[in-house]
A and B are shown apart, each in its own frame.
Chain A
Amino acid sequence: MLELGGLAFTTPWLLTALVTIPVLWWLLRAMPPAPRLVSFPPIRLILALRSNEETPDRTPWWLILLRMILAAMIIVALAHPLLNPAAKLGGSGPLVVVVDDGWASAADWQVREQKITELVDQADRESRPVLILPTAPSSPGEPIQISKMMRLLKLANT
């Protein structure tokens, strides 16, 4: 994983393909389409033309630039960019996410869900297992299942 400011790449080695872009530029400029051959009796008039040197047939620069940008974008896209990846998770080993999924958290559930997804993605990128622990009692009146949490933690640490 390579990070550049807010941008990160999960397969940064693919970015080495960017060095081929100058080669592509050179190829497009140095090898214009082959000229057609015309047998032409008034060749003397052609040889007498003065404006020829100033009008070489080249691929227009903006077309080359467009192609370069396109190639660069494909390479960068293949390197799997991530915008603002979450900060690295602390510690090591499995990640336990304790989620308050009781009625009181319904108001901002979408934010919580998003955060959970982020954490899970982050752990996934670091190849760490994830455990999600909901804290809401399964039936009214039941206490928070802290014992379940402890059990899971124990399980994860083994």
Chain B
Amino acid sequence: MSVRRGRAVLARLAAELTRDPSGDNGLPPVDQIRRHSRILLVGDFLRPVDEIAPIVRGYAVQGITGHIVQVNDPAEEILPFFGRARFEGLEGEGNALIGRVEAVRDEYTALLAAHRGALADLCRSGGWTFTVNRTDHPAESAMLMLHSLLSETERS
């Protein structure tokens, strides 16, 4: 959805929000947008970094800077389960049976940390910023940071 002004944009925004997401890869498209625009992407960003990279690079090539705010559930971060559990993806990615969740917790948190590290590297390479926010933590700090980042870009 390209950037427009006026009342009509509300209807289009609503239509976009209620669109059937099936058949969608869940990633924002790389559109042609005005120079010196700023992009704010908020989501769980749990897809492989390889899939997110074209978006960041695509915009970075156009000279557009952006911010990624990764919002995660505490359960996604600390894997607070025990014993046998079958994990199911919400978007048909398949499922995995884990014998003892507590035994893989360390490896899981390491993988998540690596994923975040890769996202942060990706953002840095395109001149973007990367912030993580947990749903059980107050959003104020993330908002404050975004505010300062966005006003900075505005001034420059």
Contacts and interface: CB of A to CB of B under 8 A. Distances in A.
B104 interface: yes
Contacts of B115: 45
A38 B46 contact: no
B50 to A, nearest CB: 11
B88 A57 contact: no
A16 interface: no
B111 A45 contact: yes
A81 to B, nearest CB: 40
Contacts of A40: 75-76, 87-90
Chain B CB within 10 Å, residue with most, of A34, A44, A56: A44
A157 interface: no
Given A49-B98, A56-B99, A41 B84 contact: no
Contacts, number: 92
B84 A50 contact: no
Contacts of A44: 46-48, 89, 93
B156 interface: no
Interface residues of B, number: 31
B151 interface: no
> Chain A interface mostly helix, strand, loop or mixed?
loop
B112 A43 contact: no
B70 to A, nearest CB: 11
Contact of A42 (B81, B84, B112): B112
B87 A46 contact: yes
B111 A48 contact: yes
B15 interface: no
A46 B98 contact: yes
Nearest to B77: A42
A123 B77 CA distance: 75
A36 B86 contact: yes
Could you say which interface size class chain A belongs to? 20 to 34
Contact of A57 (B75, B83, B90): B83
Nearest to B92: A43
Contact of B98 (A34, A39, A52): A52
A37 B86 contact: yes
Scoring A39, A44, A46, A55 by chain B CB atoms within 10 A of each residue's CB, the highest score goes to A46
A6 interface: no
B54 to A, nearest CB: 17
Contacts of B85: 35-38
A46 B141 CA distance: 29
Contacts of B12: none
Given A39-B88, A40-B90, A46-B87, 14 more contacts: A34-B84, A36-B81, A36-B83, A37-B88, A42-B44, A43-B88, A43-B95, A44-B93, A46-B96, A49-B108, A52-B98, A55-B99, A55-B104, A57-B100
